[in-house]
């Protein structure tokens, strides 16, 4: 599963309406942390949480999406279920920590 890019606010809102489980990765290409974490997050979600759809927002190219969602730090990951924000995690994100934080709501929804 690959990240799909979101390029404007209406597309962002549409993604949340069309997909029940959505993870949005907010970052930019100038951050080394973002570059390392992005593929690890994709691998985690693909292998452990297959029903979650992955999306990417470049906060430099799409500042209105970032601002609308209160994103001021990269990387930031938002997880939505049924269009409602369920998880927000920023900056120093460990994959094990992310797995634990996604696992609880995911199991409540899908098991």
Higher pLDDT: 84 or 35? It is: 84
> What tokens appear for 78 in the block?
């938002």
CATH of the domain at 77: 3.40.30.10
The per-residue pLDDT for 104 is 93
DSSP conformation class of 97: H
Instruction: Please give the residue range of the domain that contains residue 80.
Output: 4-110
**Is the model's pLDDT at 111 over the cut of 80?**
no
Rounded to an integer, what distance in angstroms lies between the CA atom of residue 16 and that of residue 35? 24
Closest CA to 109 of 16, 15, 18, 21: 21
The per-residue pLDDT for 92 is 81
What total of structural domains would you count in the chain? 1
For residues 63-82, average pLDDT: 95
Closest CA to 84 of 25, 21, 38: 21
Q: Would you say the pTM of this structure is higher than 0.85?
A: yes
**Confidence band for 93, pLDDT divided at 50, 70 and 90:** confident
């Amino acid at each position: 599963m690959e990240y799909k890019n979101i390029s404007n606010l209406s597309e962002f809102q549409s993604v949340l309406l069309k997909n029940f489980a959505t993870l949005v990765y907010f970052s930019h290409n100038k951050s080394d942390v973002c570059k390392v974490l992005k593929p690890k997050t994709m691998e985690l979600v693909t292998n452990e949480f297959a029903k979650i759809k992955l999306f990417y927002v470049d906060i430099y190219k799409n500042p209105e999406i970032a601002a609308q969602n209160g994103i001021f730090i990269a990387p930031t990951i938002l997880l939505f279920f049924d269009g409602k924000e369920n998880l927000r995690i920023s900056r120093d994100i460990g994959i094990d920590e992310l797995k634990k934080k996604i696992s609880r709501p995911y199991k409540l929804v899908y098991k």
